[in-house]
């Protein structure tokens, strides 16, 4: 199967190349940029001799004619503008931006501060949280790949929300991300000298991933949920940890809760649950598509602490996008994704 990638000058696009270049069933047919045409190894010398295609301009008709799937590794708004050219055409679309994720246009306007795509597109787009939406993904022709924070948070919260063992009003998500999530465009805030030896909080109660998390939690909960959500910048390149605090409705011990998680995720190869007393660290998933989870219930306070980690460029972006492509094309969900964590 042939894949086209749009927007390879960001880190998400680069990661798609890393995965798809060794994928057993997909080949990268073309890579595209809105900027001037040039060999991709000018952007990414690490691809020398490995992947030497030329970035070409974006010609949707040609892409539809030549490829089976197109990955939009473009920023919000750009994706939204592009997506309509591929909608209801003979190509599957996987969008890595936030433009197709929110079902309610008003919510998009409020959190993204610009106009959403057409309702008809939003209605059809399937939310690609692979472990929890597999059947719809299998049938999807247009897919909204989840955000990095929502992926980590939702995989960590799903079992206790669905089992209704926690107070849905009590959810607090303290999230921390590596810097690659901020993209590759130069800005003061992402300079080395500003972030190195630093740790920042940003977008307190204002992150645009808030409604995405709430939308999915509310679906599982069967009633609207609101969360408290904070995001921090860790001085690492890759990795997200979400530390989540919820109030247990009644006392349940750590082992019982871990059993619930083990059982829930036993058929899902990319979710790993740690044993009691052990918590995952972001480096344990670096470069891989895993989401690792640990938790502890505190009888002193009746509160549960859940910790999940992912590589933001993999399970949080390109990895999950390929996992979804696998599902959409009826392949083994792990095809091309047996990339072990790079440790140390």
As annotated, the active-site residues are: 148
Query: Whose CA is closest to 57, among 31, 80, 82, 83?
Result: 31
Count the neighbouring beta carbons within 10 Å of the beta carbon of residue 138.
Answer: 13
Indicate the residue among 180 and 320 with the shorter CB distance to a second copy: 180
Q: Judged by CB, which is closer to a second copy: 121, or 151? A: 151
Query: How far is it, in rounded angstroms, from Cα 265 to Cα 247?
Result: 22
Measured CA to CA, the distance from residue 85 to residue 184 in angstroms comes to 26
Q: Verify binding: residue 164, a second copy, rule CB under 8 A.
A: no
Residue 223 found at the interface with a second copy (CB under 8 A): no
Q: From 13, 127, 116, select the one nearest 74 (Cα to Cα).
A: 13
Of 228, 256, 263, 332, the one binding a second copy by CB under 8 A: 228
Binding span for a second copy by CB under 8 A among 64-72, 127-135, 158-166, 198-206:
198-206
From the list 138, 140, 97, 101, the residue with the least C-alpha distance to 122 is: 101
DSSP, res 187: -
Report the relative pairing of strands 2-6 and 27-32 from DSSP bridges: parallel
Is there binding between residue 35 and a second copy (CB under 8 A)?
no
Closer residue to a second copy, CB minimum distance, 92 or 272: 272
Rounded Cα gap, residues 4 and 249, in angstroms:
48
Query: What is the distance between the alpha carbons of residues 151 and 129, in angstroms, rounded to a whole number?
Result: 7
* Residue list 167-186, contact with a second copy (CB under 8 A): 169, 172, 174, 176, 179-180, 182, 184, 186
For residue 267, state whether it binds a second copy (rule: CB under 8 A).
Answer: no
Q: Residues touching a second copy: how many (CB under 8 A)? A: 81
- For a second copy, the closer CB: 86 or 112: 112
218 binds a second copy (CB under 8 A): no
Distance CA 121, CA 171 (A): 31
Q: Is residue 45 within the footprint of a second copy (CB under 8 A)?
A: yes
Please provide residue 264's backbone torsions phi and psi, each rounded to the nearest 5 degrees: -55, -40
Tell me the closest approach of the beta carbon of residue 123 to a second copy, in angstroms.
26
Q: Is 66 in the site for a second copy (CB under 8 A)?
A: no
CB of 274 to a second copy, least distance (A): 7
Binding track over 274-313 against a second copy, x by CB under 8 A: x---xxxxxxxxxxx---x-x-x-x-xx-x-x-x------
The answer to whether the CB of 209 falls within 8 A of the CB of 263 is: no
Which lies closer to a second copy via its Cβ, residue 44 or residue 86? 44
Phi/psi at 192 (5° precision): -55, -50
Return the H-helix or E-strand segment holding 322.
Answer: helix 319-328
Interface pick for a second copy out of 197, 223, 267, 330 (rule CB under 8 A): 197
Question: Which of 52, 54, 202, 259 contacts a second copy by CB under 8 A?
Answer: 202
Q: Applying CB under 8 A, does 194 fall inside the site for a second copy?
A: yes
Q: Does 10 bind a second copy (CB under 8 A)?
A: no
Q: For residues 341 and 287, is the Cβ–Cβ distance under 8 A?
A: yes
């Amino acid at each position: 199967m042939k894949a086209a990638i749009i927007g390879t000058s960001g880190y998400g696009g680069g990661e798609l190349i890393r995965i798809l270049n060794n994928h057993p069933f997909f080949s990268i047919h073309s890579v595209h940029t809105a900027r001037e045409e040039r060999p991709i190894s000018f952007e990414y010398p690490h691809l020398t001799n490995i992947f030497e295609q030329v970035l070409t301009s974006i010609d949707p008709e040609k892409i539809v004619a030549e490829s089976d799937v197109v990955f939009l590794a473009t920023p919000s708004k750009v994706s939204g503008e592009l997506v309509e050219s591929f909608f209801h055409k003979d190509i599957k679309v996987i969008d890595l931006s936030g433009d197709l994720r929110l079902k309610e246009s008003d919510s998009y306007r409020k959190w993204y501060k610009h106009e959403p795509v057409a309702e008809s597109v939003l209605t059809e787009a399937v939310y690609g949280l692979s472990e929890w939406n597999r059947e719809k993904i299998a049938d999807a022709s247009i897919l909204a790949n989840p955000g990095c924070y929502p992926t980590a948070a939702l995989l960590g919260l799903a079992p206790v929300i669905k089992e209704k063992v926690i107070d849905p009003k009590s959810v607090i998500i303290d999230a921390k991300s590596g810097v690659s999530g901020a993209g590759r465009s130069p800005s003061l805030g992402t300079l080395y000298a500003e972030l190195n030896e630093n740790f920042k909080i940003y977008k307190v109660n204002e992150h645009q991933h808030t409604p995405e998390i709430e939308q999915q939690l509310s679906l599982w909960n069967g009633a609207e949920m609101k969360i408290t959500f904070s995001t921090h910048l860790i001085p690492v390149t890759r990795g997200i940890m979400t530390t989540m605090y919820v109030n247990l409705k009644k006392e349940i011990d750590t082992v019982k809760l871990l059993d619930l998680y083990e059982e829930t995720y036993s058929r899902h190869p990319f979710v790993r649950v740690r044993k009691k007393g052990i918590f995952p660290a972001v480096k344990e998933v670096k470069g891989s598509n895993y989401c690792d989870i640990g938790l502890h219930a505190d009888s002193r306070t009746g509160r549960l602490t859940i910790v999940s980690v992912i590589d933001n460029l993999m399970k949080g972006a390109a990895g999950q996008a390929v996992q979804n492509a696998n599902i959409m094309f009826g392949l083994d969900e792990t095809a091309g994704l047996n990339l072990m964590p790079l440790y140390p």
